[in-house]
Amino acid sequence: MVVTNVTEYQAIAKEKLPKQAYDYYASGAEDEWTLEENRNAFSRILFRPRILIDVSKIDMTTTILGFKISMPIMVAPTAFQKMAHPEGEYATARAASAAGTIMTLSSWATSSVEEVASTGPGIRFFQLYVYKDRNVVAQLVRRAEKAGFKAIALTVDTPRLGRREADIKNRFTLPPYLTLKNFEGLNLGKMDEANDSGLASYVAGQIDRTLSWKDVKWLQTITKMPILVKGVITAEDTRIAIQAGAQGIIVSNHGARQLDYVPATIMALEEVVKAAQGRIPVFLDGGVRRGTDVFKALALGASGIFIGRPVVFSLAAEGEAGVRNVLQMLRDEFELTMALSGCTTLREITRDHIVTEWDAPRARPGPRL
Ligand code: FNR
């Protein structure tokens, strides 16, 4: 079968993967209301395309934290990629690099920061979970910086793991042949089995629930890398993040895997963008599956988006070639959306190119008296 869009990889991954692995990748928290909403909300935004504009040349390049990339579509951190494919994070790193875009490596990768760096050139960010043992955190951040990672994506929505019922039913744990590679030498690389989710138990044991804004400042004392705060969905937290020295915000609900019944990220985006007032860039992840979704996020003020599940599903289906294909399909769709909307550069994408359900009705002429 010819794969013609990103979503089709999910069904292929479901066929190929053991149930425990597929469920871990696919599931969301509790009722999975937010999981569906992350997708559905995009359909509440329609286009107001402009016509008769020369769109023979389209430039999708952009600069993120000073790094030039080929398109505003980047790779979100997703854990345990070798569970999807033997080449795991290596394949993702190569595919992102070939596409000229940024890969974010998860703290819980099944390949270490050094191993991923050794795959070749590429702009990479490191996603950080803060462990109770701060020496572990400091060591890991230094290793990432030394390995050439360019920024920290600090995940702030996971003081405890969300309740993912599929993982509880499956008693999810990392297959015995895999380890959390970044923590291997620190005796924290294995995940024990538990009566419920092995991952939830691991998080309860290791991840620091006391994490607070003062730690964002502490992080800045141990690294020169800029910090993106991943998991902000309100104006209030946006303002505090900027005060705390964040250099970017990722509007994210963790792919709907943490608190259920938070809004879709595309619904929360504009609030955050307004609060940021252009002081720092705002990014979005969650439910992006089409080039039209990318355009909508940019029209609402995002500087770029990240994709999570499409990477693991395509990795499971076709390894590096699958991830390359996902990035290429999204790129092509986004380019087409720009052309059909009358935009030739990212700067030309404006709020007026879309209309949302929450916009006030446009002024219409009243009835003639
Ligand atoms: C994630 N996500 C995630 N986030 C993070 O900060 N660290 C991590 O290790 C992981 N791991 C992870 C695994 C899997 C299987 C998924 C689906 C998600 C969240 C991820 O970075 C991102 O926020 C979402 O995946 C974006 O939503 P979509 O694109 O999956 O809808």
Question: For the segment 281-327, what is each residue's pLDDT rounded down to a tens digit?
Answer: 999 999 999 999 999 999 999 999 999 999 999 999 999 999 999 99
If pLDDT is split at 50, 70 and 90, which confidence band does 185 have? confident
pLDDT at 369: 66
Active site residues: 254
164 is in an annotated binding site: yes
* Pocket lining for ligand 1, CB < 6 angstroms: 25, 38, 76-79, 106, 108, 127, 155, 230, 252, 254-255, 257, 285-288, 307-309, 312
pLDDT at 226: 98
pLDDT at 193: 79
| Type and span of the H or E element at 356 | strand 354-356
Question: Residues 10-17: what's their mean pLDDT?
Answer: 98
Which positions ≥6 away from 57 have C-beta within 8 Å? Answer: 344
pLDDT at 361: 81
If pLDDT is split at 50, 70 and 90, which confidence band does 186 have? confident
% pLDDT > 90, the chain: 91
If pLDDT is split at 50, 70 and 90, which confidence band does 203 have? confident
Token representation of residue 239: 């303002």
Of ligand 1's atoms, which has the minimum distance to the CA of residue 256?
27
pLDDT at 318: 98
**Max Cα distance, the chain (Å):** 81
- Pairwise CA distance, residues 230 & 172, whole Å: 25
pLDDT at 266: 98
245 is in an annotated binding site: no
171 is in an annotated binding site: no
Residue 115 contacts residue 181 (beta carbons within 8 Å): yes
User: How many C-beta atoms lie closer than 10 Å to residue 302's C-beta?
Assistant: 27
pLDDT at 281: 98
The pTM score is 0.97
Please say if the pLDDT value at position 366 is more than 80.
no
Task: Please indicate whether residue 203 or residue 85 has the higher confidence score (pLDDT).
Answer: 85
Question: Residues 218-235: what's their mean pLDDT?
Answer: 98
Residue 29 contacts residue 280 (beta carbons within 8 Å): no
% pLDDT > 70, the chain: 98
pLDDT at 192: 82
Of ligand 1's atoms, which has the minimum distance to the CA of residue 230?
6
pLDDT at 345: 98
